[in-house]
Every structure is written in structure tokens, then in C-alpha cells.
Structure 1
Amino acid sequence: MISARALSAAFLALAVSISPAVGHDFQAGSITINHPWSRATPPVTPVAGGYLTLTNDGDIADRLVSISSPLSERVEIHESAVSNGVASMRPVQNGVVIGAGETIEFQPGGMHIMFMKPSHPLKEGERFAAKLTFERAGTVEVEFVVQGMGAGPATTNEHDGHEEPAQ
């Protein structure tokens, strides 16, 4: 028969093992910020990228107007595009609108966050803070998890580990 102490220890171990999956989504009003992540960077780099998913569960559109982080001198939202076979990247002007019921993905090769002049190289497993400011929902503090240099967006099953790229 299993003792109450052993059973309690087992439940505590289970709770600790699944808590990262629960703790890496953030909420600002009707906006859910899902899995903010970044890639590890080389020793000397002028920028670091940031990725996440924004979902508006409300009935009114909202706008991500700015992002800041103590990691870097400045933070910009950028959009990558390919036109006539030429890839380009440019800052997004006037923020990003998240329509009612809409989901916006910030991902490599598309819309993403640029942390300009980071204070140090990012290492896999590290976490860093940022603040997202929305027009309606206000400001929310989030935490980015640094994945490996070649990492891609995490799938739902990989959400809690942060170490494996999607295939």
C-alpha cells in the first residue's frame, strides 16, 4: 500500500514537472500571449529575434503598440517579406492590430520582434523579461525563453520543454 507521504511526493513531482507548460502563457485583457521565445545568439551580435503568438478572445480589436525590454537598448516589430525573389525586412509602423477573434503569429521569416543591441549574448535555457503594451489591454510583463540557435516555433507538445524545434 502507498503511504500518504509517498502519494503527496508523487503529486508534488507531477505538479512541478508540468508547471512550465501552464506558466508560459500571459494575459492582458482579452489578449493571450502564447509562448514568447527567442533563439540563442552568437557571442557578438547586434540583434536578437523574438517570437510569440497573440490571440484576441474579445469582441473588439486591439493593437500591440510597443514592446520594451531591459535586455536591449530598443525593441522594434519587424516584418519579413519576399518580393520578386528578394527578401527584405522592415519595421512595422503604427503597431499590430489583432482583430476580434484573430490570432497573429510572430515567427522566423515573418512578423517578429527585434531586440536591438542586446546587453549580452542569449544562451539556450536563459529567460528574459519584456513588456508588451496594447492600446486597449494595457501593459503586460512577459518572459521570453531562449531556445537553441536553430530552433523553430514550438508545437503544443513541445511547449513545455522549449528545447526541441518543430519538424
Structure 2
Amino acid sequence: MTRFTTSAKALGATLALAASLALGGCSAQDGPGDDGGASAEPKLHVSDAYIPQPVGDVAGGFLTVTNTGGAADKLLSVTSPLSDDIQIHKTVDQKMQQVDSLDVPANGALDLERGGNHLMFMEIKKQPKQGEKVAVELRFERSDPIRIELPVEAPTHNPSSPSAHGSAHH
């Protein structure tokens, strides 16, 4: 009987601790400009953006959209002077498929990377060269558009490979 009582007390203490951490986490998110938690909003920023120098009439775009806000968002479309047809691709079982949107989870990230989800610039209007930048505007379901410039990297550039150490920052 004592063993059960000790377990019940430990469980109660654990639940109380978990509840206080959860409540503390909610209030810790309130800050300048917040509306007191009445409605959570996504807070997006882009990093690790690049486009490998294209070798044909299509180009891939890669980047990370990080959401530090408490609400999810969706990447809906992309525009750029480089192409009138920019597609959002999802990779499932090593096969690309065009999708209408990709989720940007609350307190998470959407990674667009080689071998995974990515942007496809179809029928590009010019061949950007390594060292140049390509202007892009990302449009979301809830957040304002984000305008960025994707640096053009070597055709084989892959920041996740060990040989690309430090080359993603120009």
C-alpha cells in the first residue's frame, strides 16, 4: 500500500509540474506587440536560401522558412523575374509532385532542400551565373509576403554535405 501511495504522490507531483510548465510556456510567449495571447500569429523568417546555377531551362530553389510564432502558416506561391512558372514540389518516396502549398508548422520550420521539398523555376528567362542573386517573393496564407534574394551557387552546391562547409554564407 505504501508503494502505491508513493507512486500516486509522484504522479501527482509530475502532473502538477507539467501543468505549471505548460502554463508558464503560454505566458512566456506574450511579448511586445502581442495581443495577450487572444490570437496566435505565425512569425516567419527565411534562412539558408540558394539556387544552384542552372544547367538547362529549369532551376531548383532551396531555403528554410522558420516559424517562431504560435500559429502555423502555409507557403502558397512564389514569384520571381526569373520565371513566370514557379512550382512548389513535395518529394514523397523519392518522387517529385507539384502541390498547391506546403505547411510551415507553428514553432517549427519548412525545409526546402535537395532530395526533399523544393521550388522549381520552370522555363527560366535567363541563365543566372554563380555569384549573382535571384529576387524571389514568397507568399503565405496568413503572413505578409517575404522578399528575398537567393544567391546563385555552384551547380553541385549542397550545404548539407560535409564538403560544402561554410560555402552557404556569402
TM-score relative to the length of structure 1:
0.70
Q: Which has the larger radius of gyration?
A: 2
Find 2:112's aligned residue among 106, 112, 116: 106
Answer yes or no: is 1:47 the counterpart of 2:58.
yes
Could you list the runs of 4 or more consecutive aligned residues of structure 1 that deviate by over 6 angstroms after TM superposition?
Answer: none
Deviation at 1:136?
1.2
Corresponding pairs, count: 126
Q: Which residue of 2 aligns with 1:33?
A: 46
Q: Tell me, yes or no, if structure 1 residue 149 matches structure 2 residue 158.
A: no
Aligned-partner Cα distance in 1 for 2:46–2:79: 15
1:35 Cα deviation from its structure 2 partner:
2.4
Q: Which residue of 69, 90, 102 corresponds with 2:80? A: 69
**Equivalence for 1:160:** 169
**Which runs of 5 or more residues in structure 1 are unaligned?**
1-28, 162-167
Unaligned segments of structure 2, at least 5 residues: 1-41
Tell me what 2:98 maps to: 91
Q: Provide the residue aligned with 1:12 in structure 2.
A: none
| Structure 1 residues 105-136: Cα deviation after superposition (integer angstroms, max 9, x where no partner) | 10011000001111111211110101101111
**Residue 36 (structure 1) shift:** 1.6
Give 1:23's aligned residue.
none
- Equivalent pair of 2:67/2:109 in contact (CA under 8 Å): yes
Contact kept? 2:159, 2:168, Cα under 8 Å: no
Counterpart for residue 39 of structure 2: none
User: Greater helix share, 1 or 2?
Assistant: 2
- 2:159/2:167 contact within 8 Å kept: no
Cα offset for 1:160?
A: 2.2
AA aligned opposite 2:113:
Q
Q: CA RMSD in A?
A: 1.8
- Compute the displacement of 1:157 (Å): 4.1
Higher RCO (CA 8 Å, separation ≥ 6 residues): 1
Structure in which a larger fraction of residues adopt strand: 1
Contact 1:39 1:122 in 2 (8 A): no
Q: CA deviation at 1:100?
A: 0.9
- For 2:98 and 2:57, the matched residues in 1 are separated by 16
